[in-house]
């Protein structure tokens, strides 16, 4: 905390560095946050283009656009890009921008590490792109990465050189996430302004605290698993080969020990955003702040111990399956608590419906729907029917698009005035909201039906009985993709100008939490707090 | 009078809703879990309906509360925010009340699910046991009590056919009213033999055996497919079961065994085959087993599966022994399987002959069953 008062003098008189050095050598949390956000925006369009390809291929039966392997490669990389390239960096960008300002710190605790954790991301993105083209440019390049994002052996051992690029991309992404998480935990624990106790922190800060702890706990497991895969591929080991004494299921356990907590890594930052947006526009303090904080802790802890519900069909013992089933169903308790907190925050409030709030309300509705299908999937015997059908695809897109992505949109619109100093165009923001929400539902709701009727996931071609639902889904998908051009336009327009934003653009934005970010002008100065603010 | 924007929106909703509804009506039987046709899947279906109904009620409650809030607690309506709401009795007890309610719903579902799970995992004595082997990209069924083996391949149909990707050349035949145990395994990568009407899924894992079972209640043909991503041909691996009455099943077994004995005798007889016979047989074997990877024109898929047309082995007189070895023993580290254990000498001889003489290949040898016997 004393850092805040001693750090300022030698920078203050010469302002931000100019030109490319400002960005490449940056140690400023806002500049790095901006780079994270733009990187995420780029990857959103990259991953979105792959989704458009997938929906175009599935528009009608028959293989029209490319080989099944290329299709499966697109499915794999759509997931990897969206999870590691889009949602996580976007959430990390918001963390970089907002956490120091919310807790009254001048910057992140480890600014140079912060620079490194960002610049690892473009490197990883290049590796991922190489993994797509490698099979075609190397002689005997073998199969593209056709495994789906779970990279399950033995299929991933059969793949060509593209798989090695994918493995190295995952290593790089993992290092980036762990470094960023260490930085965030250190910042939250050490850099809070005097008087800012843990229980006074805005919910977004709490959400990122749990997220970062989860990442530090599970990312190394994924790194270990893909390293073992690399050894199986090239160095003659048999970790995952039953013929050599290994176990193909071991990889699944390792992957999902990472993969399930990863779901909460994607969700929690957005829940943190909701914890600010809903009270602001309801003009009323968050209902059950403590319950939400503890709820997130319980969610993170439970999320660590139920990974095998992704593998109900591998043939576990009756006792193990029962345990994973009941553990998974119990997750509905903290999630139910969260939904209750948000609904009762709106209750007896005084709501206005600016774009962030519209997204907030839509998230509550659609995410509870994802929770309901989640309970259905948790029930083992029923899951044996749903397993690897489009029903699962529909479920996790309902969880991840409203739960994570729409939460990020809510955050972007909520903080755009603060970041840029300009108000965004509210009318366009609302059009964007309705356009995405309607097209999202048009895309993914029919997939519940085709999934229940038995359509498997990750197939390039399907029998004609699923045609209607896939056509609706594809049209919805194209509309959903197209809506993001409007999103891009709104952001560029806001950066370039518009009505000046006051320090506190939203009437209700200091209710309930200390809200230190709103005490700064919009946009905030290069070093947020030159003197540590004091919380009463 | 609604503002213009609201009118546009409601028009959009109505059109979209009508469109969704009409397409649902068109595919009326295709939006719920497939109707069950066995005792076990009936139990699972009931469980599915229970969770669906509970979920629907919860969604209705949540939606109702939100809509109520949206209507009544609007700034535009002059609603005054109650800044002390979270400090009332409800604020202090809600965090206990809500989890208790959710927990009781959870336990209702979990107890019902737990008993169904016990039926899924029961290991009573089976009347028929079938080993289901997944491989890239077909199913092999072995009846453990009878000497019957079925290799089930995709039947190629046009994308307009009602059974496109849903039919196979040789389906699994099972009796109704008998307990059938399935032992699931795989010869290369993960597969998942899934037919929702009759059987809960377990995945096929190389080197492991998983178990699931059924007791089919209705005669008929049940169709499913592979549910675990197994690579290039994943979308082209239908699984079909024909369920017949026990008497019909016994008759089928007798006929099937007779056919198998006949073709085995034919293959092991030391007959020398003529080129036309070998080529015709070879093309059939190729179409059934090799076409998915090496393609009908023998060109393979560049970078993924090697071409046979004009290849260094198939189009080279000196490399005959290599060619036979690779077909019989497979190639480690690739998707090329060992066909020795799966095909008889005659089939392998025919397909090798075919590959060396088709698509402009000029190696030209005739391979006879005795050559394969020697190479094994």
Give the model's pLDDT for residue A43.
96
Q: What is the CA radius of gyration of chain B?
A: 29
Report pLDDT digits (tens) over B323-337: 888 888 888 767 787
Which residues of A fall within a CB distance of 8 Å from B62?
Answer: 339, 343, 364-365, 368
For residue A488, the distance in angstroms to the closest alpha carbon of chain B comes to 23
Considering CB atoms only, which of B79, B113, B192 is closest to A313? B192
Q: Which of A316, A379, A439, A480 to mutate to test the interface with B (most CBs of B within 10 A)?
A: A379
B94 with A286: Cβ contact below 8 A: no
Considering CB atoms only, which of B33, B62, B228 is closest to A385? B33
d(CA B148, CA B145) in angstroms, rounded, equals 9
Q: Which of the 8 DSSP states describes residue A402?
A: I
Query: What are the structure tokens assigned to B130, written together?
Result: 């079938």
CB proximity under 8 Å: A 139-178 to B: 140-143, 146-148, 152, 154-155, 158, 160
Question: Is pLDDT larger for residue B321 or for residue B12?
Answer: B321
pLDDT of residue B1 exceeding 50, the answer is no
A493 vs A293, A345, A359, A410, CA distance in Å? Answer: 36, 32, 20, 17
Question: Using CA atoms in the order B343, B345, B346, B348, what is the torsion angle rounded to 10 degrees?
Answer: 60
B103 with A333: Cβ contact below 8 A: yes
CB proximity under 8 Å: A 32-51 to B: none
Q: Which of B70, B109, B223 to mutate to test the interface with A (most CBs of A within 10 A)?
A: B109
Report pLDDT digits (tens) over B146-165: 989 999 989 888 888 889 99
Which residues of A fall within a CB distance of 8 Å from B9?
Answer: 434
d(CA A49, CA B94) in angstroms, rounded, equals 44
Cβ–Cβ < 8 Å for B33, B195? no
Bridge pairing between strands B180-186 and B191-194: unpaired
Contacts of B262 (CB under 8 A, 6+ apart): none
Please provide the average confidence, as pLDDT, over all residues in chain B. Answer: 85
Cβ–Cβ < 8 Å for B216, B177? yes
Does B136 lie at the interface with A, CB-CB under 8 angstroms?
A: no
pLDDT of residue B108 exceeding 80, the answer is yes
Which residues of A fall within a CB distance of 8 Å from B202?
Answer: 313-315, 384
Does B67 lie at the interface with A, CB-CB under 8 angstroms?
A: no
Give the model's pLDDT for residue A6.
46
Q: Of the candidates A148, A183, A170, A156, which has an alpha carbon nearest to the alpha carbon of residue A72? A: A148
Considering CB atoms only, which of B24, B44, B118 is closest to A385? B44
Q: Of the candidates A452, A442, A474, A392, which has an alpha carbon nearest to the alpha carbon of residue B29? A: A452
Which residues of B fall within a CB distance of 8 Å from A147?
Answer: 229, 231
Question: Is pLDDT larger for residue A281 or for residue B28?
Answer: A281
Confidence class for position B7, pLDDT limits 50, 70, 90: low
- Chain A with chain B: Cβ pairs closer than 8 A: 322
Cβ–Cβ < 8 Å for B180, B193? no
Which residues of A fall within a CB distance of 8 Å from B157?
Answer: none
Does A523 lie at the interface with B, CB-CB under 8 angstroms?
A: no
Report pLDDT digits (tens) over A316-331: 999 999 999 999 999 9
Share of chain B above pLDDT 70, in %: 91
Q: What is the 3-state secondary structure (H, E, C) of B286-318?
A: HHHHCHHHHCCCCCCECCCECCCCCCCCCCCHH
Q: What does the pLDDT profile of chain A (536 residues) look like in tens digits?
A: 344 444 444 544 556 778 888 899 999 999 999 999 999 999 999 999 999 999 999 999 988 888 899 999 999 999 999 999 999 999 999 999 999 999 999 999 999 999 999 999 999 999 999 999 998 888 778 889 999 999 999 999 988 899 999 999 999 999 999 999 999 999 999 999 998 999 999 999 999 999 999 999 999 999 999 999 999 999 999 999 988 899 999 999 999 999 999 999 999 999 999 999 999 999 999 998 999 999 999 999 999 999 999 999 999 999 999 999 999 999 999 999 999 999 999 999 999 999 999 999 999 999 999 999 999 999 999 999 999 999 999 999 999 999 999 999 999 999 999 999 999 999 999 999 999 999 999 999 999 999 999 999 999 999 998 999 999 999 999 999 999 999 999 999 999 988 999 989 998 877 767 788 998 998 998 888 888 888 87
Considering CB atoms only, which of A318, A333, A450 is closest to B102? A333
Bridge pairing between strands B138-143 and B148-152: antiparallel
Question: Is pLDDT larger for residue A526 or for residue B316?
Answer: A526
pLDDT of residue B26 exceeding 60, the answer is no
Q: Of the candidates A88, A157, A177, A161, which has an alpha carbon nearest to the alpha carbon of residue A127? A: A161
d(CA A235, CA A392) in angstroms, rounded, equals 35
pLDDT of residue B12 exceeding 70, the answer is no
B9: nearest CA in chain A? A434
d(CA B298, CA B300) in angstroms, rounded, equals 6
C-beta contacts of B124-129 below 8 A and 24+ residues apart: B124/B179, B125/B179, B126/B179, B126/B180, B126/B181, B126/B213, B127/B175, B127/B178, B127/B179, B127/B180, B128/B174, B128/B175, B128/B178, B128/B179, B128/B180, B128/B181, B129/B180, B129/B181, B129/B182, B129/B183
Cis peptide before A154 (omega within 30 of 0): yes
Give the model's pLDDT for residue A5.
46
A511: nearest CA in chain B? B83
- Element housing B82 (H / E): none
Give the model's pLDDT for residue A347.
92
d(CA A372, CA A368) in angstroms, rounded, equals 6
Give the model's pLDDT for residue B3.
53
Give the model's pLDDT for residue B349.
85
B16 with A344: Cβ contact below 8 A: no
Does A291 lie at the interface with B, CB-CB under 8 angstroms?
A: yes
d(CA B99, CA A333) in angstroms, rounded, equals 5
Q: Of the candidates A290, A269, A159, A162, which has an alpha carbon nearest to the alpha carbon of residue A213? A: A269
Confidence class for position B219, pLDDT limits 50, 70, 90: very high
d(CA A436, CA A52) in angstroms, rounded, equals 15
Does B147 lie at the interface with A, CB-CB under 8 angstroms?
A: no
For residue B230, the distance in angstroms to the closest alpha carbon of chain A comes to 7
Considering CB atoms only, which of A242, A288, A461 is closest to B86? A288
A462 with B228: Cβ contact below 8 A: no
Q: Of the candidates B328, B344, B345, which has an alpha carbon nearest to the alpha carbon of residue B336? A: B328
Give the model's pLDDT for residue B25.
44
A380 with B162: Cβ contact below 8 A: no
Which residues of A fall within a CB distance of 8 Å from B90?
Answer: 344
Question: Is pLDDT larger for residue B95 or for residue B305?
Answer: B95
Does B224 lie at the interface with A, CB-CB under 8 angstroms?
A: yes
Q: What is the CA radius of gyration of chain A?
A: 23
CB proximity under 8 Å: A 167-226 to B: none
Least confident range from A503-512, B85-94, B186-195: namely A503-512
When pLDDT is averaged across residues B248-253 and rounded to a whole number, the result is 95
Cβ–Cβ < 8 Å for B152, B141? yes
Considering CB atoms only, which of B83, B166, B303 is closest to A142? B303
Give the model's pLDDT for residue B9.
53
């Amino acid at each position: 905390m004393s850092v805040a008062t001693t750090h300022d003098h030698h920078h203050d008189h010469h302002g931000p560095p100019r030109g490319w050095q400002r960005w490449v050598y940056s140690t400023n949390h806002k500049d790095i946050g901006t780079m994270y956000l733009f990187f995420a925006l780029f990857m959103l369009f990259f991953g979105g283009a792959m989704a458009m390809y997938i929906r175009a291929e599935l528009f009608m039966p028959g293989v029209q656009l490319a080989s099944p392997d290329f299709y499966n490669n697109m499915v794999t990389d759509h997931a990897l890009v969206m999870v590691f390239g889009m949602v996580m960096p976007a959430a990390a960008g918001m963390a970089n921008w907002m956490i120091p300002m919310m807790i009254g710190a001048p910057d992140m605790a480890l600014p140079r590490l912060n620079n490194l954790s960002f610049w690892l991301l473009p490197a990883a993105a290049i590796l991922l792109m190489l993994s797509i083209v490698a099979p075609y440019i190397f002689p005997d390049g073998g199969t593209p990465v056709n495994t789906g994002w779970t990279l399950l052996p033995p299929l991933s051992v059969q793949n060509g050189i593209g798989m090695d690029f994918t493995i190295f991309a995952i290593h790089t992404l993992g290092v980036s996430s762990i470094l960023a998480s260490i930085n965030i935990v250190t910042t939250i624990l050490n850099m809070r302004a005097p008087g800012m106790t843990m229980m006074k922190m805005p919910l977004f800060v709490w959400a990122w605290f749990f997220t970062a702890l989860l990442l530090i706990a599970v990312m190394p497991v994924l790194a270990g698993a893909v390293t073992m895969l690399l050894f199986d591929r090239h160095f003659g080991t048999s970790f995952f080969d039953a013929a050599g004494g290994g176990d193909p299921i071991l990889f699944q356990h390792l992957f999902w020990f990472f993969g399930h907590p990863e779901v909460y890594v994607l969700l929690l930052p957005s829940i943190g955003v909701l914890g600010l947006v809903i009270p602001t526009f309801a003009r009323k303090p968050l209902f059950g702040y403590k319950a939400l904080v503890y709820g997130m802790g319980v969610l993170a802890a439970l999320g660590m111990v139920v990974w095998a519900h992704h593998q109900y069909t591998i043939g576990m013992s009756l006792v193990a399956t029962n345990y994973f089933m009941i553990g998974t169903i119990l997750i509905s308790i903290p999630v139910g608590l969260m939904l209750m907190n948000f609904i009762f925050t709106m209750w007896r409030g005084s709501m206005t419906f600016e774009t962030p709030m519209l997204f907030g309300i839509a998230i509550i509705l659609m995410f509870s729907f994802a929770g309901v299908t989640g309970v259905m999937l948790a029930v083992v015997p029923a899951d044996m029917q749903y397993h690897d059908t489009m029903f699962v695809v529909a479920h996790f897109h309902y969880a991840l698009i409203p739960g994570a992505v729409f939460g990020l949109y809510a955050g972007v619109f909520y903080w755009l005035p603060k970041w840029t100093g300009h108000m965004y165009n509210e009318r366009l923001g609302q059009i964007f909201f309705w356009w995405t929400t309607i097209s999202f539902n048009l895309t993914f709701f029919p997939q519940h039906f085709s999934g229940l009727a038995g359509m498997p996931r990750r197939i390039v071609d399907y029998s004609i009985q699923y045609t209607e639902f896939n056509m609706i889904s594809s049209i919805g998908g194209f509309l959903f993709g197209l809506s993001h051009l409007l999103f891009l336009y709104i952001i560029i327009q806001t950066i370039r100008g518009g009505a000046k934003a006051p320090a506190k653009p939203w009437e209700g934005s200091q209710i309930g939490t200390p809200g230190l970010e709103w005490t700064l002008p919009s946009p905030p100065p290069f070093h947020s707090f030159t003197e540590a603010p004091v919380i009463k | 009078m609604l503002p213009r924007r609201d009118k546009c929106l409601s028009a959009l909703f109505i059109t979209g809703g009508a469109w969704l509804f009409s397409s649902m009506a068109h595919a009326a039987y295709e939006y719920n879990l497939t109707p069950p046709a066995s005792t076990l899947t009936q139990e699972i279906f009931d469980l599915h309906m229970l969770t669906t109904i509970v979920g629907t009620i919860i969604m209705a409650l949540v939606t109702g509360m939100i809509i109520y809030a949206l209507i009544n607690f609007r700034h535009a309506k002059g609603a005054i925010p109650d800044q002390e709401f979270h400090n009332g009795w409800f604020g202090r007890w809600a965090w206990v009340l809500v989890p208790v309610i959710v927990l009781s719903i959870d336990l209702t579902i979990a107890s019902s699910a737990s008993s169904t799970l016990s039926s899924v995992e029961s290991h009573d004595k089976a009347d028929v046991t079938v080993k289901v082997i997944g491989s890239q990209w077909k199913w092999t069924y072995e009846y453990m009590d009878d000497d019957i083996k079925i290799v089930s391949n995709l039947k190629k149909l046009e994308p307009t056919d009602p059974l496109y990707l849903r039919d196979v050349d040789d389906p699994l035949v099972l009796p109704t009213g008998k307990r059938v145990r399935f032992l699931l395994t795989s010869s290369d990568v993960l597969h998942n033999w899934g037919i929702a009407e009759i059987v809960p899924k377990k995945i096929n894992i190389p080197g492991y055996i998983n178990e699931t079972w059924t007791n089919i209640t209705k005669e008929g043909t049940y169709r499913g497919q592979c549910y675990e991503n197994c690579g290039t041909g994943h979308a082209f691996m239908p699984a079909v079961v024909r369920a017949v009455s026990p008497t019909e099943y016994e008759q089928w077994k007798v006929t099937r065994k007779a056919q198998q004995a006949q073709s085995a005798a034919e293959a092991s007889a030391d007959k020398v085959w003529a080129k036309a016979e070998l080529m015709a047989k070879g093309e059939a074997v190729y179409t059934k087993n090799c076409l998915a990877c090496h393609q009908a024109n023998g060109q393979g898929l560049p970078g993924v599966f090697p071409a046979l047309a004009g290849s260094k082995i198939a189009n080279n007189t000196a490399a005959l022994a290599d060619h036979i070895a690779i077909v019989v023993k497979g190639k480690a580290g690739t998707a090329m399987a060992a066909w020795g254990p799966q095909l008889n000498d005659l089939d392998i001889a025919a397909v090798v002959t075919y590959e060396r003489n088709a698509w402009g290949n000029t190696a030209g040898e005739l391979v006879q069953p005795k050559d394969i016997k020697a190479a094994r």
